[in-house]
Amino acid sequence: MSNNKFNTSILFVSYQEFINEKNKGTFRKLAKKYNIYEIINCNNKEVFLKLGKKSNEIIYKFYDKDFKLFVEKKLPQNFIYDLKFLQLNLLKTEKFYKFEEFITLIRRGYSMAELLNSGAKYSKEGISYITNSNISRGFLDKSQAKLSFVKANLTLVKKDDLVISKSPPYKIALIEDDKQYLANDNLFIIKIDKNKIDPAYIWSYLQSKKAQKIIIKNQKDTKNLSIKMLKNMEITIYDSEKMGKIRCEFLKNINILKNSYKKIEDISKTNEEIFE
């Protein structure tokens, strides 16, 4: 933020000083005498108080760690007399977007019959074909059928693309490797604009209980998802630091799940070979 952005008096304090109970009275007197009309919170590190302009409201702005404006709220002027005046950390630093704002492409996959009729054939060296069962654990497993002689104009699923089942229990998986895949017609292929958001965050969000509740609530009388419903789905976006923590925690848990299933599979295989 450049200094020429401010054309009135500015008071700079650390965030910890700002929320300190001992300083409440001082800031209230300051607000009353010098007319605080804007509060700028820099990622809960520093706070700028803009003074000297009479207004019926206070503008509150929250900038994330990359100095991008994340939240802007209008607060009533009497907010400064409220006990929560210095509790700006209680204000929700989150935004809500429609899913379509992050989508570059969404479509259904292809039925096996459709692919075979177009000339595709089963092959050990072909393109893997993802079905509901392949994402039932919340990530992509390696047990897909493979097809060769696939038409060039088909939409393939690639790294950082999402696949989501159109019927309950609405499983979602992110393509994490560099391979290309075909998807079954009971799955939606979703390509994400990576300039706007990390696909892994969307993956974690769609697997959350919060997102599943939204899906179930919006389904009403039908169980199957639709492209329209997915596009209109509400996505909660936090500041970049919080989203980064959510992403890391989610991916760590996904790896734990993968290792756990691998151990179970190894034990099952060992049991099968006991008599060999």
For residues 128 and 121, what is the distance between their CA atoms, to the nearest angstrom? 12
Token match 């450049």: residue? Answer: 2
Q: How does DSSP assign 203-239, residue by residue?
A: HHHHTSHHHHHHHHHHHTT--S--HHHHHT-EEEEE-
Considering the entire predicted model, what is its pTM? 0.75
8-state DSSP, 157: B
For residue 140, what are its two tokens? 């992509």
The answer on pLDDT for 18 being more than 70 is yes
**pLDDT-above-90 percentage for the chain:** 42
For residue 26, what are its two tokens? 């001082």
Give residue-wise pLDDT tens across range 152-188: 789 999 999 999 999 888 899 999 999 999 999 999 9
Peptide bond into 168 cis (omega under 30): no
Pick from 8-17, 135-144, 253-262 the range whose average pLDDT is largest: 253-262
Give residue-wise pLDDT tens across range 70-82: 888 888 877 766 6
For residue 246, what are its two tokens? 């959510």
For residue 247, what are its two tokens? 């992403």
